[in-house]
Amino acid sequence: MIVPYSQVLILAGTLFLLGLFCTVARRNLIMMLLGVEIMLNAAMVALIGGALRWQTMEGHALVLFIFAVAAAEVSIGLALIVCLHRGKASMDPGAYNALG
């Protein structure tokens, strides 16, 4: 007996809120990417809890795919940040407001 599923959802929701706040409020490209990671992590917590709640492994499979998607997202995102940094040497997303 661990805890009711609603408490797991509250934990995941609070974690998601922290990630959302980090993505919206910080003006730093790397911190925004970290916020996205925190949100993915919160989704994984909810999925694993749900897999335990309904005694099925579908949630575990989905979490494995989230790992792969997060790895791909971070590699592309950081490559883009490095590419942008070569041009303007700024971490502020507001500095990049022109196409091309």
SS3 percent helix, strand, coil of the chain, rounded to 5, is 80, 0, 20
- Length, in residues, of the chain: 100
Cβ at position 56, least distance to other proteins in Å: 9
Cβ at position 99, least distance to other proteins in Å: 16
Q: Which is nearer to other proteins, 72 or 96 (CB)?
A: 72
Distance CA 77, CA 59 (A): 26
Q: What are the angstrom distances between the C-alpha of 2 and each of 26, 30, 53?
A: 35, 36, 11
User: Would you count residue 36 as binding other proteins (CB under 8 A)?
Assistant: no
Cβ at position 77, least distance to other proteins in Å: 9
Query: What would the two tokens of residue 91 be?
Result: 């971490």
Binding site for other proteins (CB under 8 A): 1-8, 10-11, 13-15, 17-22, 24-28, 30-31, 33-35, 37-38, 41, 44-45, 48-49, 51-53, 55, 57, 60-61, 63-65, 67-76, 78-83, 85-86, 91-92
